[in-house]
Chains A and B, each alone.
Chain A
Amino acid sequence: MSLFDSEFLKKLEYLSLVSRRVFRGRLLAQRRTKQLGGGIEFADHREYTPGDDLRYLDWNVYARYGDLLLKRFQEEEDLHVYLLLDISRSMDSGSPNKFDYARRIAAALAYIALADLDRVCIMAYADRPLEVLPLTRGKDRVLSILNFLENLKPAGTATDLATVSKSLVNRAQRTGLVVIISDLYDQQGFRGGVDILRHRRFEPHVIQIHTLEEANPSLLGDVELDEMETGQRRKITVTERKIKQYRQLFVEFLSSIETYCKTYSLSCTRSTTDLPFDELIMRMMRASGIQS
């Protein structure tokens, strides 16, 4: 069975409809930019300065109070959606596969964005950007996006979100929404990368995915652990007590992600791979609906 079969595409269509009808584009598309300009929706007044376009002078105010005030309007423009997809080798684990799961989420988000006439860019990364799909627009580009995602392979020898973020901010023509889809097992820490995006006025949204086995490992006894990403090995004796401590550590890791995102008012979604991807998207939609 291919990654994006007809069933998957049906679900995408459904999600697209739901996002439009129920959330009225609050997730991605049709968002007002914060720039003021030549839109039609009134924003506020400012004092007239010589050289301003007289068409926007508020004659009613002038007639009533004698003040020269210029009307300002909110400018509408397309939203740029950047999908940062972690394709490091750590993602190629678990059942259901974490890498496939991440790609499905990326496909779903891209589809919804394209359906709402937003621009989408996908950047597959590990220790650096490995594959990039440049900004694209229009629903007819869906197939090329799906092809792009389907052809991705786990790669890289480490995960370095900071490097990737730097690369993105340098390449991006405009700021926009950045959705990071990753397990966040970043050897250097994921916070540096997200901070860069924040500082450059991007809007980061973090989707952390992990498998059940990672949250609750069933190891016991003397084992040699082999890290998939770096190839590093370690001999350990896993006891019941250690398993308990591991679980505690993992819970702390997840809660640290949540705390970080809350601190900087970032959207954050956590999920295990056993949750259907459409459920996850719906959950994100609901969360966004509440926030906006």
Chain B
Amino acid sequence: MFEFASPMLAWWAALVVPIILIYIIKVRLRRQPVSTLLFWNQLFDEKKPRAWWQQLRHWLSLLLQLAFVLLLVGALVDPLWSWQKNSQRRIVLLLDNSASMKATDAGGQTRLHLAKEVAKGLARSLRPGDEMSLVSTGGQSVVHVGLTNHARLLIDGIADCPATDAPSALLEAIATAERLLKDRVEKSEIILLTDGCIEDFERIRSNPLIKIYGIGKALENIAITRYQVRRSVMDSIGYQVLVEVTNNGLDEAKTKLEISLEERLVDVVPMSLKAGESQTRILDHTSATGGRLVAKIDSNDALSTDDYAVSILPQRAPLPVTLVSKGSLFLKSVLESMPLVALTITDQAPESAPKGGLLVLDREIPSSLPRGRVLVLDPQNSTDYWTVGENLEQPLVARVEKDSPLTQHIRLDNVLFPGAKQLTFSKPIEALIRDPFDSPMLAKMKRTGGDVWILTCSLEQSDLPLRIAFPVLIKNAVEWFQGNEGQLRPVVPTGSLASFLIPTEELDSFSTFATSFPPTQTEVDEKKVGLNSNDDAKESAEAVESDSTVPQRRDLRVNSPSGRNSAISVQGDLAMIGPILECGIWTVAPDIDIKSKRAETADSTSKKEDVTRVDAQIGKVDYRWAFASNLTNHSESDLKPRGELLPADSLSVVSLGGRAIWFYLSLIGLWLLVIEWWLYQRRVVG
């Protein structure tokens, strides 16, 4: 049953001989003169030896000493169970560090902490020849420690394995483990330490290589399992919040759902959820400013990560609109009634549309159409983009493009557009409303300087301004010009990749700003000694810039909600970030050391304006450069194991509580030594 790793060391058992000899020639009694024996006589005459074992007390001392020596020798020869000797095990330990492992179990410890303790015990029990690897499964499969026999390395790796807010990527981790073990499958095993809150449980359990050990007990949990925010399609400053709350407990639960925007409470929804029930709420509210929108449920359950969800509500910036008109009351009223329009009225057409805004031209159009986004109503004269012809013979609306956002929600069938003229375009257009002869009555045109929207219809002669379709038509046009910006910023579920559309204009202005400064002293020095590794990259970047067909390469810095940051390099405008392992607001920033540039040139008056602008931006969370991430995962929020799990305690038994036999023998020996010392050296036994 037993074999010994170092049988030669059994010679140390010969130590028992001198111990017995020393015992036999035990030290003679010391003689001690005292003034009187009065008290000693009283003391010893009162209580005479009563028990038989007291007669054998010295023998017990000898036995304890001999047992100590034999146990020590036993530890030195290092006994092994026969199965330990025969099996040179290779283990891949899959440590589940997904979000559900952050649940606080009985005893106030997280499941991950308990799993780590078990894992450390397993690492300590490694025998010579055994190998173990550590792979974490939270969000993605990460090999923390490759196959090794070094227990300390494994224990450090286990201790450093971080908790994540992501769901378990178990299949990926199993594939990694199998790859690690593929060269020798026999005597290999994959040990999964998990709480059982995993998908595909049966499939995983059917794998003969895997043993699943359970951590923690089934716990009740109320969670936010779906959360998205979007701007309302009907209201330019409105927004809709979609929230799903699930009760994963066994009893009915009551809670309150609180919605707050930038820490101001927006809504409180009381909810009553039956066991296992999910309730979805769509909440409508308005805000032009946008910001950080938080949903929180009032629940004191085991897992707090899913009691909280965050999203970014895009800001709706006012659109500067310049109306050039001799006095169209209907048009003016419609534009003024739109909440996000900053209207300016003039009778002289400017050379271009306001920056980032819209120019509305009524009737009189300059021969050279102004640059920028232009909305044209009832053009009376020709321009470089079209020629105005005769009035249409039958200005009746015959066909409306239903799929275009410019004509959505309007009904104009068989409506007359009196005064509508025949327009001949010099550039391709998309006709949205046509007369029976297919002549365009409403069209949109794409051009380099800015898109153009043209409606040929006399507002004075027709009843169009009196119809409900008119304000809707203008609203559609304004929103089309405004674009989709600020409509929806999807919340990224943890564990997935975040596709982040870089605000390129902003990034380019940052880059221009940064490169407009003279180089710092460090950069100059680096250049001198040729240490600036970015030189080549810059040169190649310049080359790329000159070639417009190749997307520009951008260096970005991604900051996680917990403050960790990492650098990424992106080709083009779309950055793929992740997998996302933390809940909260992630920010992306251009990897430009603006602060140091600003510090070096703060006194330069020529840059004063730029410096002021950058100062305002530094240290501020710009939600255009951010995205939100939440757990919102049914599987992780349901804190009940999906199937039968092996108890983690049994893993401790297999590994003898995480220690080798020699350790326990030494421990028992030490105990015996302490007992002997306490009883005899401290003279407890008289």
- Is A185 within 8 A of B29, CB to CB? no
CA distance A245 to B42 in the complex (A): 10
Q: A239-B684, A246-B43 are in contact. Are A93 and B33 (CB under 8 A)?
A: yes
Contact pick for A237, options B35, B38, B42, B683, CB 8 Å? B683
- Is A225 within 8 A of B43, CB to CB? no
Binds B, one of A72-80, A166-174, A213-221: A213-221
- Is A222 within 8 A of B34, CB to CB? no
Instruction: Check if A131 is an interface residue, CB within 8 A of chain B.
Output: no
Instruction: Check if A187 is an interface residue, CB within 8 A of chain B.
Output: yes
Contact pick for A249, options B30, B33, B39, B686, CB 8 Å? B39
1/0 per residue B1-45: CB within 8 Å of A? 000000000000000000000000000011111111111111110
Instruction: Check if B685 is an interface residue, CB within 8 A of chain A.
Output: yes
Contact pick for A245, options B29, B30, B43, CB 8 Å? B43
CA distance A225 to B40 in the complex (A): 9
CA distance A191 to B40 in the complex (A): 21
Instruction: Check if B613 is an interface residue, CB within 8 A of chain A.
Output: no
Q: How far is the CB of B28 from chain A (nearest CB, A)?
A: 9
- Is A238 within 8 A of B35, CB to CB? no
CA distance A214 to B38 in the complex (A): 11
- Is A249 within 8 A of B42, CB to CB? yes
Instruction: Check if B179 is an interface residue, CB within 8 A of chain A.
Output: no
- Is A241 within 8 A of B36, CB to CB? no
Contacts from A to B (Cβ < 8 Å): 90-91, 93-94, 98, 183, 185, 187, 210-211, 214, 217, 219-230, 232-242, 245-246, 249-250, 253
CA distance A250 to B39 in the complex (A): 7
- Is B30 within 8 A of A223, CB to CB? yes
- Is A226 within 8 A of B32, CB to CB? yes
CA distance A151 to B651 in the complex (A): 85
Q: How far is the CB of B682 from chain A (nearest CB, A)?
A: 6
28 contacts between A and B (CB under 8 A): A90-B35, A93-B35, A183-B36, A185-B36, A185-B38, A222-B30, A223-B31, A224-B31, A224-B32, A225-B34, A225-B37, A225-B40, A226-B32, A226-B33, A227-B35, A227-B36, A227-B37, A233-B31, A234-B37, A234-B44, A236-B44, A237-B683, A238-B686, A239-B683, A239-B685, A242-B686, A245-B43, A246-B39
CA distance A159 to B42 in the complex (A): 18
Q: Which residues of A contact B43 (CB under 8 A)?
A: 242, 245-246, 249
Q: How far is the CB of B341 from chain A (nearest CB, A)?
A: 94
Q: How far is the CB of A64 from chain B (nearest CB, A)?
A: 66
Q: How far is the CB of A100 from chain B (nearest CB, A)?
A: 14
Contacts from B to A (Cβ < 8 Å): 29-44, 682-686
Q: Besides the contacts A227-B36, A236-B40, what 17 more A-B pairs have beta carbons closer than 8 Å? A: A214-B35, A217-B34, A222-B30, A224-B29, A224-B31, A224-B32, A225-B32, A225-B37, A227-B34, A227-B37, A228-B34, A239-B683, A241-B686, A242-B43, A246-B39, A249-B39, A249-B43
Contact pick for B36, options A90, A94, A240, CB 8 Å? A90
- Is A240 within 8 A of B684, CB to CB? yes
Q: How far is the CB of A99 from chain B (nearest CB, A)?
A: 11
CB-nearest residue of chain A to B681: A221
Q: Looking at chain A's contact residues, is the secondary structure mostly helix, strand, loop, or mixed?
A: mixed
Contact pick for A183, options B35, B37, B41, B685, CB 8 Å? B35
CA distance A166 to B38 in the complex (A): 24
- Is A220 within 8 A of B38, CB to CB? no
CB-nearest residue of chain A to B27: A222
- Is A229 within 8 A of B36, CB to CB? yes
Q: Which residues of A contact B36 (CB under 8 A)?
A: 90, 183, 185, 227, 229
Q: A222-B30, A223-B31, A224-B32 are in contact. Are A232 and B683 (CB under 8 A)?
A: no
Q: Which residues of A contact B30 (CB under 8 A)?
A: 221-224
- Is B686 within 8 A of A226, CB to CB? no
Q: A93-B33, A222-B30 are in contact. Are A240 and B682 (CB under 8 A)?
A: yes
CA distance A211 to B39 in the complex (A): 15
- Is B35 within 8 A of A187, CB to CB? no
- Is B40 within 8 A of A246, CB to CB? yes
CA distance A183 to B685 in the complex (A): 32
CA distance A61 to B109 in the complex (A): 102
Q: Which residues of A contact B39 (CB under 8 A)?
A: 246, 249-250, 253
Q: Which residues of B contact A98 (CB under 8 A)?
A: 35
CA distance A222 to B40 in the complex (A): 13
CA distance A239 to B683 in the complex (A): 4
- Is A232 within 8 A of B37, CB to CB? yes
CA distance A245 to B683 in the complex (A): 14
CB-nearest residue of chain A to B57: A237
Question: Which of A91, A222, A229 gathers most chain B CB within 10 Å?
Answer: A222
CA distance A201 to B36 in the complex (A): 31
CA distance A91 to B34 in the complex (A): 10
Q: Which residues of A contact B41 (CB under 8 A)?
A: 234
CB-nearest residue of chain B to A214: B35
Q: How far is the CB of A40 from chain B (nearest CB, A)?
A: 50
- Is A239 within 8 A of B686, CB to CB? yes
Q: How far is the CB of B42 from chain A (nearest CB, A)?
A: 6
Q: Which residues of A contact B38 (CB under 8 A)?
A: 185, 187, 253
Q: Which residues of B contact A232 (CB under 8 A)?
A: 37
Q: Which residues of A contact B44 (CB under 8 A)?
A: 234, 236, 242
Q: How far is the CB of A285 from chain B (nearest CB, A)?
A: 28
CB-nearest residue of chain A to B680: A221
CB-nearest residue of chain B to A227: B37
CA distance A40 to B506 in the complex (A): 123
CB-nearest residue of chain A to B45: A234
Q: Which residues of B contact A250 (CB under 8 A)?
A: 39
CB-nearest residue of chain A to B44: A236
Q: How far is the CB of A103 from chain B (nearest CB, A)?
A: 17
Q: How far is the CB of A22 from chain B (nearest CB, A)?
A: 35
Q: How far is the CB of A208 from chain B (nearest CB, A)?
A: 13
Q: Which residues of A contact B42 (CB under 8 A)?
A: 249
Q: How far is the CB of A240 from chain B (nearest CB, A)?
A: 6
Q: Which residues of B contact A239 (CB under 8 A)?
A: 682-686
- Is B683 within 8 A of A220, CB to CB? yes
Q: Which residues of A contact B33 (CB under 8 A)?
A: 93, 225-228
Q: Which residues of B contact A233 (CB under 8 A)?
A: 31
- Is A241 within 8 A of B34, CB to CB? no
CB-nearest residue of chain B to A249: B39
CA distance A237 to B30 in the complex (A): 11
CB-nearest residue of chain A to B31: A224
CB-nearest residue of chain A to B685: A239
CB-nearest residue of chain A to B29: A224
- Is B35 within 8 A of A234, CB to CB? no
CB-nearest residue of chain B to A159: B36
